[in-house]
Amino acid sequence: MAVIKFEHVTKNFGKITAIRNVDLEIRDKEFMVLVGPSGCGKSTLLRMIAGLEEISAGSLYIDGQIVNDLPPKDRDIAIVFQNYALYPHMTAYDNLAFGLKIRGFKKSAIKEKVLEAARVLEIEPLLDRKPKAMSGGQRQRVAIGRAIVRDPKVFLFDEPLSNLDAKLRGQMRLEIASLHKKLQATIVYVTHDQVEAMTLGDRIAVINQGEIQQIDTPQNLYNFPKNRFVAGFIGSPPMNFIDGVIRRSAKGLFFEDSSGALYAAAPQALEAYTCRNIVMGIRPEHLHVRPEKEAERYASFNAEVQLVERLGHESFAFVRLHGTPIAARLAPEDAPEANTTMTLYAAIHRMHFFDKETGKVIA
């Protein structure tokens, strides 16, 4: 059992407020990902769970017990650091054994546990090597091994894959996911990589400037972002944002972009925004070269093609709509030529509308 709960938690470093009034509940055995740009406070949140960072205000609960003042060793957690923090003068075996030794386990019990963890992570051949003699990926495994060997109820990961190359990162991602199934423990995982967040998380907390923007499942974050920040952060290439106004006509409300080249029927919920500036968002994958489905409605507009990226299975067209940059994800055979004009069809029911001032989603 391990439920972690932040209640109005704030963290100040001198005059800097790194975490502002955070409420977050991490469920038992959940894989929770904390994602956000660099410096947003992800590590600080994680380190507060570990007890490595004091809490300035608010309460942190683990399994219903306030742990604000509980030392790290009594929290039954393990943390995997970004730089692995393996003890350089110890072999992999001793690195794994250290915590058990400190806690007074018998030699035979230590050996059994270390070998079991080594087997799970397939690092047996590394056990008598020191960190210096290992590759980045191997160190990563040993660092994870050091975490699982004590069988804690919570695992904390701080950007564990950021020092690995892309291929290894993909592979380790799968392994961490399967490890979570095996371990049946609560995992809090920090990353700035939204692909990692989307693929690993049961739920994701998107953080910006020390505040939680939205907590939800990966699919819901993608489909129903609560604000412009989340909409722009989740998805790659990011959602396109187009400035415009809501107008009223005989047929109902419609959105007109600021250049007057794009018209789209707008939901009735935007009534209050009539004649006001708003921002429309649409993802690259919801722009097409022709209407995709008969039952759906599309808003078409002409744009100048600036650049085309061909990735084989798909291609990205980077176009401009009167100065506004827009990316479209297209089938390879639909890719236009650069420096031409093309017509794009935006799926109307896929559009998001945001308040221009607050950035909050309004429809």
Partner 1 sequence: MTEHITKRSRNRNGLLPYLIVSPYLIHLLLFVLFPVVFSIVLTFHKWNIISPMEYVGLDNFKRLIQDRLFWKAILNTLQFLLVHIPLQIIAALALAYFLNQKIFMRPFFRAAFFMPVVISGVVVTILWQQLYGLETGLLNRLLIGLGLNRVEWLSNPVIAMISIAIMATWKNVGLYVILFLVGLQAVPRSYYEAAEVEGATAWQQFRYITLPAINPTIFMVVILSTIGGFSLFIEPYIMTDGGPLNSTLSAMLYIYKQAFGYYHMGYSVTLGLFFALIIVAVVVIQKLAIEKQD
Ligand X SMILES: Nc1ncnc2c1ncn2[C@@H]1O[C@H](COP(=O)(O)OP(=O)(O)O)[C@@H](O)[C@H]1O
By the criterion CB under 8 A, which residues form the site for partner 1? 50-52, 71-73, 77-79, 81, 83, 85, 87-89, 98-99, 102-103, 146, 150
* Total residues in contact with ligand X, by rule CB under 6 A: 11
- Minimal distance in Å, beta carbon 159 to Mg ion? 6
In a 13 Å sphere around the CA of 169, the CA atoms on its Cβ side amount to 14
**If contact means CB under 5 to 8 A according to the sort of partner, which of Mg ion, ligand X, partner 1, none does residue 98 touch?**
partner 1
Sheet (strand 315-321) strand order: 287-288, 341-347, 298-310, 315-321, 324-330
- Minimal distance in Å, beta carbon 94 to partner 1? 9
* Residue whose tokens read 């699982």: 148
- Minimal distance in Å, beta carbon 79 to ligand X? 13
Residue whose C-alpha is closest to residue 56's, from 22, 107, 27: 22
Tokens encoding 279: 């921002």
> Closest CB to partner 1 among 113 and 228?
113
User: Binding to Mg ion by residue 315, rule CB under 5 A?
Assistant: no
Sheet (strand 186-191) strand order: 77-80, 154-158, 186-191, 31-35, 203-208, 211-216
- Minimal distance in Å, beta carbon 84 to partner 1? 8
**If contact means CB under 5 to 8 A according to the sort of partner, which of partner 1, Mg ion, ligand X, none does residue 44 touch?**
ligand X
> Closest CB to partner 1 among 147 and 351?
147
Residues numbered 43-62 forming contacts with ligand X, rule: CB under 6 A: 43-44
Alpha-carbon distance of 322 to 308, in angstroms, equals 18
Alpha-carbon distance of 200 to 157, in angstroms, equals 12
Rule CB under 5 A: choose which of 2, 43, 150, 155 binds Mg ion: 43
Query: What are the two backbone dihedrals, phi and then psi, of residue 4, each rounded to the nearest 5 degrees?
Result: -115, 135
Residues making contact with ligand X (CB under 6 A) = 13, 16, 18, 36, 38-44
Residues making contact with Mg ion (CB under 5 A) = 43
